[in-house]
Amino acid sequence: VPTFHAAGIDNPAALAQLDVSHFEALGVKDGEDRRKLFFLVQRIKMACDKSDQTSSEVDSVLAKTMGPSLSLNASQAVEPDLDMIQSSQSSSQQSSKEHRQEEIVPVATQSPRPMRRHEHSDLTTDDDDVFLENKASLSNQKEENSKPVKDSTDLEPTAVSVEELPANTVTTRRTSRRIAEQKPVSERQSKLAAPGKRSSSLNRLSVDTESKITSRRTTGLGPTDPRSIPMRVNKRLSVIPAEAVAPMSPLGELLADKIDTKALSDLPSVQLSDSHDHLSVSTSSSSGDKPQASRQSRFSRSYTNPDIGRPSLGGNHQQRSSSMNGRVSVQGRKVDTSFKAQIEKLRQENIQEYELFGKPDANQEAYDDNMRIRVMVRKRPMSRSEIVAAGDVDVIHPFDHGSYGRLLVYNPKTKVDLTKTIEALSFSFDNVFDETSTNAQIYETAIRGMIPNLFDGQWASIFAYGQTGSGKTFTMMGSTVTGLSENTFDPSNLGLYYMAALDLFQAIRTPGFEHFGIRASLFEIYGGKLYDLLNDKEQVKCLEDSAGRVCFPGLTEHDVYSADELMDIIDQGSSIRATGSTSRNADSSRSHAVLQLHLVETTQNGKHQSEFSRLTFIDLAGSERGADTATASRATRLEGSDINTSLLALKEVIRALATGDSMAHVPFRGSRLTQVLKESFVGENSQSVMIACVSPNIGNVEPTLNTLRYADRVKERNSETGELSAAVASNMRRKVNVRQPPPSKINLMKRSSSIETDNSEMLEELLASPKQAERPTSVDIDYSNLPEDNKCRELANELIMEHKRIMSEMLAMVKDEMTIVNQADADHEGLKEYVSQLNAVHEQQLSHIAILREHLLAYRIAQTGGDDSFEDLRD
Ligand SMILES: Nc1ncnc2c1ncn2[C@@H]1O[C@H](COP(=O)(O)OP(=O)(O)OP(=O)(O)O)[C@@H](O)[C@H]1O
C-alpha cells in the first residue's frame, strides 16, 4: 500500500486503472496474488463505475477487501463530500420557499425517494445517547411540538451554516419543526439516522470520535438555538493516520511485501476509466440440487445496467468528476445495455482471467482412460434459425482446464425494476467441448481408450443426453445421419458409432484375434416398450433370468463385417425410429435408441459363439420440459412423462455407479431404460461416458441449465476448482483386472489428422500398471474374522454412512417430487403422467429404504447375536 502511494497511485480510481498486465511488472510473481489483485481491481472498478455513488463507496470496497489501510487519501475522499454539502447548503439557502417545501417533506409523511447527495452525509445517531445528553433540548422540542402546526408551508428548513462550523464537521439540512413533528423522539432520531445508516459504507473508514454539530434555523433563530438537535457524528479518517485505525489486512501486508516499488514507480500514469457499466460480483449458485457453499464461481460476475432504476445523476455527477481531479467523463455516453453487450463484456473478462490463471499447463495429463464414469459436455454451434430468432446471443462459455473442464452459463435476468443483469453460473465436468469441437475429438478423448478394454471382457456404454435439438444424434450418428452422405461428407464429424466400429474391425483383423466377431442390434425404448429397429419394429421383451441377467427374447442380432456395413443397417433402422415434433425440434427423437455392438468369441471347435463383451450406445430421447410439450398432443405429453421418468432413473443409476455404491441396491427397475442397461453397468470394471449436449442460444438457457444440473449430479465436481466429491474420487478409476490377454498390437486405422494415436502404447501401459487394490463394497466385506466389537463398529459405520447417503438421495428426490406435484396441481389434465411419475419415485424411495433396512438389520443382528425382536420390514 505505501508502495502504491509512493508511486503516485494515491486514490482508488487510479488504482482501478492498474491492468492485470501491470501486476507482473510490479513484481507480483505469485499467480494467486495476481488473481487476488485482479479481483481487487475489478471491485474497485465496479465502485468507480457506479457513477451515482460517492467516492467513499470506493473506499468502502477497499476497506472490505484490503482493510482500512488502503484509504491512502482519505482526506481527498472527504473533501468532495464537504464541498457537496456546502454547495447544496448554499443552494438551499438561496432556493425559493416552494422549492424548500418540495424538498423538505415532514418526516411523518415522507415517502421513500432516492437519497439525495447531500443526505449521504456522515451522520449517525445513537438514539439513547442523544436522548440522555439532550434532555434539555428535547424538552424544548416537546414544547415546540405542543404548538399546533398549521400546514406544511409553516415548515421552515433548518439548514446548517457551514461557515460557522469547524472543519471536519458534517452538517445536515433539516427543519427542526420537521424533526420535532408528531413523532416520538426515538423514532424521529432513527429516521434521522437513516441517511447515515444507508450510507454506512461512508462510515466504514471512520472512527468513533464523537463531536457534536449544532444546527440552527436559517430563519430567525440564533446560532445557539436550544431546539437544535445534537447528534453524534463520526469524524472522518482524514484526520487520523490510517495505521492508527486498524492493522493492515493480510492481503495488504502480502501486497506490500510483494510489490516492487521501483517497478511501480516506472508505471505510466494512469487514466480513469469512463465505462458506465457496473460490474458486480454475483453470489449466485449453479445448481439447485446440492449444497451451494462451494458453488460461487470465481468467474461469477453480473453486470447491471446503471441507467435503469437509478436517480438522475445531475450535478452530483459533476461533483464526482471534480472529486476525481476532473479526469472522469462519464456523462452523455450511450451505453449498450443489452444482454448481448453485457455477456460480451463478461466473456472478455473471463477470457482474460482464464488466459492468466486458468489455462492448463501444456504438460498436464489431461485424460484418464481408466475413468469409470466420464461426464462431458458438448456445446453445439448456433443454428441459423437461432441466430435470426435470438439475435445470436451465445450464453455458454466453456474453458478447458486440462484435468477438468469448466463451463459458464450467462443467465439473463430482468429484475422487477427492469434492470437487465447477467448471472454467471459455473459448472465443472470431466471435459467440455466448445462449438468448434468435432465428433473425432470427442471420440479420441473419451471413447477410443475404452476399445481395448472390450478385449479385456469389459462392458462399456456411451450416452448422449440433452434437450431436444441439442446435437445428440449428430454426435452419435454424424454430420448427416450416418455421416456417409457423399454431399456433406465431413471426416471429422463422422458419428461415434462409425468411429468405434472402425477401431473394432481393425482390432479383430489383428493376427491372434480372428476368433472375435462383431454383431449388432438396434432397438428403441418407447413408452416403456422395446421395439427392434432391425426387424420391422417388432416388439421385444426384456426379461431377467434366474441369475439376474437381462435378456431380450426376440431381439435380432446381425453379424457385421465392416464399419460401412454397420452404418448401412443403422441407417435403415434409424429411419423407422419414433420421432415427433415439439416446439423446439420439428424432428425430435421421442424414444431412446440403443445400439449394441457385441464382441463375440468363437469357441475353439468353431461351433459356438458367445458374447465376450459389449459396447452400447444410447441416443437418449430429448430431455423434455413440460413447457416444450405444452402445446403438443396428450400422447406427446405422455411420451414426455415416460422420458422424464426414465431419465430420472438413469441419473440415479449412473450416480450410484460413480460413487461406487453396491450395484445390488441400485434401482435398475426404476424404469425400462435402466433395466435394459443393467448388464452394461453391473460389471465392476464397466465404463460409461455421458455426453451432455447443450444448445448455446439465449432462448434455451433454462433447458441448458437443467441438462447441466443433471450431468453435474453424476460426479458433483466442485464448480470452481473442478475437484471431485469424496464419494466419487475414491471410485473414479476402474480396477484394471486383465482376464484376457488384450491384442498385442491394434493397428488402428488413421481416419483423420485428429485421430492418429496408436492404441498399442496405451495397451502396454495398461498392462504394466499395477493392479489396484480391490475396494470391498458393503456386501463384499467378510465380517466373520473380525472380533465382535470391531464387527459392530464396522457395521455401525456402514449404517451411518449409508443413512447419510440415502438422506441426500431422498432430499434430491423430494425436490423432483415437488416439481412433479406442482405440475400436477397446475395441470389436472396431466394426472396420468403424474401418477406414473409418482409411482417411479416411490419405487426408488422404497428401494432406498430397503437398502437402509438391510444395514440396520445387519447391525442389530451383530449387536444382539440374532436374538432380536426387530421386525424385518423389507417385504
Ligand atoms: N456439433 C454440431 N455441429 C453442427 N451442427 C450440429 C451440431 N450438433 C447438432 N447440430 C445440428 O443441430 C440439429 C439438431 O441436432 P440433433 O438432431 O442431433 O439433435 P438431438 O439432440 O438429437 O435432438 P432430438 O433429441 O430431438 O433428436 C441438426 O440439424 C444437427 O445437424
Q: Where are the domains of the chain?
A: 78-244, 368-382+438-734, 783-864
Centroid of ligand 1 to alpha carbon of 718 (angstroms): 29
| Residue pair 81/336 in contact by the 8 Å Cβ criterion | no
| CA nearest to 662, candidates 389, 865, 857, 851 | 851
Centroid of ligand 1 to alpha carbon of 383 (angstroms): 9
Atom of ligand 1 lying closest to residue 380 CA = 1
pLDDT score of 225: 37
Atom of ligand 1 lying closest to residue 589 CA = 27
466 annotated ligand binder:
yes
* Residue ID of nearest Cα to ligand 1 atom 12: 471
Between helix 831-864 and helix 788-826 the angle, nearest 10°, is 170
Distance CA 386, CA 435 (A): 14
* Residue ID of nearest Cα to ligand 1 atom 10: 471
Distance CA 569, CA 72 (A): 75
Distance CA 294, CA 287 (A): 11
The predicted-structure confidence for 207-260, as pLDDT tens digits, reads as follows 333 333 333 333 333 333 333 333 333 322 222 233 333 344 343 444 444 444
Pairing of strands 588-589, 592-602: unpaired
* Interface predicted TM-score of the whole assembly (ipTM), two decimals: 0.98
Centroid of ligand 1 to alpha carbon of 655 (angstroms): 26
Distance CA 103, CA 156 (A): 11
* Residue ID of nearest Cα to ligand 1 atom 27: 589
C-alpha cell at 48: 468507480
Q: Is 347 helix (H, G, I), strand (E, B) or coil?
A: helix
Phi and psi (nearest 5°) for 399?
A: -135, 130
Hey, CA dihedral for 36, 39, 45, 50, is it positive or negative? negative
pLDDT score of 557: 92
Phi and psi (nearest 5°) for 307?
A: -90, 0
Atom of ligand 1 lying closest to residue 693 CA = 21
Atom of ligand 1 lying closest to residue 582 CA = 26
Maximum CA extent, the chain: 121
The predicted-structure confidence for 163-178, as pLDDT tens digits, reads as follows 333 433 333 333 333 3
pLDDT score of 413: 85
Centroid of ligand 1 to alpha carbon of 264 (angstroms): 53
Ligand 1 neighbours, Cβ below 6 Å, are 380-381, 383, 466, 468-474, 585, 588-589, 622, 693
Please compute Rg for the chain using Cα positions: 35
Atom of ligand 1 lying closest to residue 470 CA = 21
pLDDT score of 250: 41
Q: How many helices (H) and strands (E) does the chain have?
A: 30, 19
**Thinking of the domain 368-382+438-734, which architecture would CATH place it in?**
3-Layer(aba) Sandwich (3.40)
Centroid of ligand 1 to alpha carbon of 792 (angstroms): 55
Residues whose CB is less than 8 angstroms from the CB of residue 523 and which lie 6 or more positions away in sequence, other chains included = 530, 531, 532, 533, 534, 540, 552, 555, 593, 594
Distance CA 383, CA 388 (A): 9
Q: Is 305 helix (H, G, I), strand (E, B) or coil?
A: coil
Distance CA 691, CA 274 (A): 44
Centroid of ligand 1 to alpha carbon of 537 (angstroms): 24
467 annotated ligand binder:
yes
Q: Which of 433, 438, 473 to mutate to test the pocket of ligand 1 (most atoms within 8 A of CB)?
A: 473
Q: Which of 474, 524, 691 to mutate to test the pocket of ligand 1 (most atoms within 8 A of CB)?
A: 474
Length of the chain: 875
pLDDT score of 852: 84
Centroid of ligand 1 to alpha carbon of 476 (angstroms): 10
**Residue ranges of the chain with per-residue pLDDT less than 50:** 51-54, 68-332, 481-486, 581-586, 625-628, 736-787, 874-875
Centroid of ligand 1 to alpha carbon of 694 (angstroms): 10
Backbone dihedral region of 320: left (phi > 0), alpha (psi from -120 to 50 degrees) or beta?
A: alpha
Atom of ligand 1 lying closest to residue 585 CA = 26
Burial of 746 (0-12, 13-18, 19+ CB in 10 A): buried
471 annotated ligand binder:
yes
C-alpha cell at 634: 396428450
Q: pTM of this prediction?
A: 0.52
472 annotated ligand binder:
yes
331 annotated ligand binder:
no
DSSP result, 5-69: HHTT--SHHHHHT--HHHHHHTT---HHHHHHHHHHHHHHHHHHH-TTS-HHHHHHHHHHHH-GG
* Residue ID of nearest Cα to ligand 1 atom 1: 380
Residue that is written with C-alpha cell 434409424 in the block = 574
Atom of ligand 1 lying closest to residue 584 CA = 26
| Residue pair 427/409 in contact by the 8 Å Cβ criterion | yes
pLDDT score of 850: 81
* Residue ID of nearest Cα to ligand 1 atom 20: 469
Distance CA 392, CA 390 (A): 6
Centroid of ligand 1 to alpha carbon of 398 (angstroms): 19
Distance CA 324, CA 77 (A): 9
